[in-house]
């Protein structure tokens, strides 16, 4: 075994070693380029306003300050409540969204469903035109009674035309013989969907689930329209309100000739970005391999 390994090493020429080394160098540089914005975001959130006003954002601050995080954690109950609301709508919305979109993709993939082309057209039509802001608001508030309800932030994101078509394209890669064999054995449509197609669709489900979870995690627009209770405010909307509040304080301080460099108006933006993207960055490595494979298959099979 040792001789075979040594022989394999001897056959590796100098050009091969140089090529492999160059690949590692390029890969390392690309990794550093991708990591640089995140590192700069984290370090800039610990800068004080004087240094930012004088030198701009820097990778290594001269003086470290936690003023931005102190402002964000000034009311920890509201911050924890906003995290709880965001986690809740993300969990519920992602699970329900995966069920709805995977079912839709399964039905649209069925060749014996004669209306699948018509439904595909109507689903695609929603990507071109929407119902409008005013009719949607009237529908949610007056007819569905979703004012100050978590469902007002969940319902709009339960279905995505792109995700439905991705699920349909992925299911095309599954042989029809599996469906035919299950039908001969007496399995119904729901059993075929749940026990056969769902386990085989893990890469596509991970891809769609990641996009859906990120969309719910970044929810703020529907909260701005339908939520007025502080206990139902999601994280992104709460952080946006904190930035607006800091900007207002800066304007008021300028009017009364107060030193505005003590207000973390710039560093708080970076701190908000850290608070908002940190959990997503920590979660992504667990679904990365499923995300890449699912996205590739969905693109190739289109």
pLDDT of 265 reads 75
What's the pLDDT score for residue 232? 93
The CATH fold assigned to 69-300 is MetI-like fold (1.10.3720)
Domain boundary assignment for the chain: 69-300
pLDDT at residue 278, as a whole number: 81
* Segments of the chain with pLDDT less than 50: 1-4, 6-9, 257-259, 298-302
Alpha-carbon distance of 158 to 215, in angstroms, equals 10
Reduced to 3 states, what is the DSSP secondary structure of residue 155? helix
Task: Quote the pLDDT of residue 291.
Answer: 64
pLDDT at 91: 95
287 contacts 196 by C-beta, under 8 angstroms: no
Q: What is the pLDDT of residue 95?
A: 96
Longest Cα–Cα distance of the chain, Å, equals 82
pLDDT of residue 63: 85
pLDDT of residue 111: 84
What pLDDT score was predicted for residue 222?
A: 93
The pLDDT value recorded for residue 301 is 45
- Residues 83 and 213: their CA atoms lie apart, in Å, by 14
pLDDT of residue 286: 74
H or E stretch covering 70? helix 67-72
């Amino acid at each position: 075994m040792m001789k075979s390994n040594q022989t394999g090493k001897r056959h590796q020429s100098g050009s091969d070693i140089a090529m492999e080394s160059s690949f590692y160098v390029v890969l390392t540089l690309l990794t550093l380029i991708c990591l640089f914005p995140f590192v700069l975001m984290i370090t800039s959130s610990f800068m004080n306003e004087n240094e930012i006003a004088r030198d701009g954002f820097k990778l290594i601050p001269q003086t470290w300050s936690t003023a931005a995080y102190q402002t964000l954690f000034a009311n920890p109950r509201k911050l924890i409540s906003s995290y709880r609301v965001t986690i809740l709508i993300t969990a519920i919305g992602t699970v329900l969204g995966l069920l709805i979109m995977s079912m839709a993709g399964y039905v649209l993939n069925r060749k014996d469903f004669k209306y699948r082309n018509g439904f595909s057209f109507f689903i695609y039509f929603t990507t071109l035109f929407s119902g409008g802001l005013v009719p949607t608001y009237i529908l949610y508030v007056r007819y569905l009674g979703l004012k100050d309800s978590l469902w007002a932030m969940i319902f709009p994101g339960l279905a995505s035309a792109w995700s439905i078509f991705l699920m349909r394209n992925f299911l095309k890669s599954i042989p029809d013989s599996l469906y035919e064999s299950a039908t001969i054995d007496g399995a119904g449509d729901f059993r075929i969907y749940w026990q056969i197609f769902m386990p085989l669709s893990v890469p596509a489900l991970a891809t769609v689930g990641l996009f859906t979870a990120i969309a719910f995690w970044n929810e703020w627009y529907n909260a701005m329209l339908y939520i007025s209770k502080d206990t139902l405010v999601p994280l992104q909307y709460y952080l946006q309100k904190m930035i607006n509040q800091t900007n207002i304080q800066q304007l008021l301080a300028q009017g009364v000739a107060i030193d505005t460099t003590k207000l973390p108006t710039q560093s708080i933006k970076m701190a908000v970005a850290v608070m908002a993207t940190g959990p997503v960055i920590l979660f992504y490595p667990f679904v990365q391999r499923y995300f890449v494979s699912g996205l590739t298959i969905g693109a190739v099979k289109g």
